[in-house]
Amino acid sequence: MKTFGISVLVLAGAAVAPAWSCDLCAVYSSFASRGESGKGWVAGVAEQFTRYGSLQTDGASVANPDGQYMNSSISQVFVGYNFKSRVGVQVNLPVIHRSYRRVDDTGAVDTGSESGVGDLSLLGHWAPVQEQYKNGIFRWNLLGGLKLPTGNTRRLAEPEFGAVHGHDLALGSGSVDGLVGTGVFASWNRWFFTANSQYAIRTEGDYGRRYANDLTWSGGPGYFLVTTDNLNLSLQANITGEYKGTDRDNGAVDPETAMRAVFLGPQLEVSYKDKYNFSLGGDLPVSIRASGTQAVPDYRVRAAFTVRF
């Protein structure tokens, strides 16, 4: 088994930043958890579908007799370039589709959908530590970048409406935000471990909305089920989480925006000829606490396809 070669394309999908109430914070990095090696181009698409079909009020589950929900699909198209084994850049453009049903205090029902491009992200990565051993590899990545206001923000102008709010449906924030993160990949024989975190530093955007800063993290142990010169197959137990505070609306606290959540689920990863990589994972919530009244996730499905040139 060529340990370093296996590590090159493992777990691209694990780098999908967790996202639920703060879908706008989701930024996919193809470099965050892999043992990336060599120079050249990388491109692909990462998809995350989240079903919000349960309601909470101040952290307590409540009935949903009117069937309020939001289905959120975010497809991130990305292209990147490694200048050398430790330094690279990446551009992400999300394509978003959200369908919903919500009911206000008077019983009026509103159903519909929102689609379009989201906020463009520019990312850079650097690996200050990259060590190869006889039976394993260790790599530490640092990530930084900017999110630019390319997504439509018209939904931010809406008044609060049921359990699915305008800031949940908006495709963009109208703000220029900072992104910083770090990731670790370690392997020993057939076992491996990943740990990643990302922090979004938000500024005020359109309509006086300032999304709260958001911390997301993911990782867990995994095992290579198949290892050959051309094909590698791995399975990981992936745990993800998010902590997000309350947004501000024209300086006033919006009480229906904070959330703490933890998810757990499996992730399957396949790489072929150190060029093609596909990952598929699912997440179920093990702990969610939302402020105010919000629709919260029932499950998530994640997939990613990456090609190196």
Average pLDDT over residues 76-82: 93
pLDDT digits (tens, 9 = 90+) for 83-100: 987 899 999 999 999 999
- Has residue 247 got a pLDDT over 80? yes
Is this prediction's pTM over 0.85? yes
- Has residue 22 got a pLDDT over 60? no
Q: Which residues pair with 148 in a beta bridge?
A: 120
Q: By CB neighbour count within 10 A (0-12 exposed, 13-18 middle, 19+ buried), where does 250 fall? A: exposed
For the chain, the first-to-last Cα distance in angstroms comes to 23
pLDDT digits (tens, 9 = 90+) for 97-152: 999 999 987 889 999 999 999 999 999 999 999 898 888 999 999 999 999 999 99
Which residue type does 228 have? T
Mean pLDDT of the chain: 88
What is the share, in percent, of the chain residues with pLDDT greater than 70? Answer: 88
Question: Any idea what DSSP says for residue 208?
Answer: G
What is the share, in percent, of the chain residues with pLDDT greater than 90? Answer: 79
Q: Which pLDDT value is given to residue 17?
A: 36
Total count of domains within the chain: 1
Average pLDDT over residues 170-189: 95
Which domain, by its residues, includes 224? 3-308
- How far is Cα 94 from Cα 21, in angstroms, rounded to an integer? 16
Q: Cα–Cα–Cα angle for 116, 117, 122, nearest 5°?
A: 170
Beta strands in 104-190 (DSSP E): 109-117, 120-132, 136-148, 177-188
- Residues belonging to the chain: 309
Given its phi and psi angles, is residue 160 left (phi above 0), alpha (psi -120 to 50 degrees) or beta?
beta
Instruction: Give CA separation, 51 vs 21, 73, 100, 283, in Å.
Output: 11, 9, 10, 11
The CATH number covering residue 62 comes to 2.40.160.40
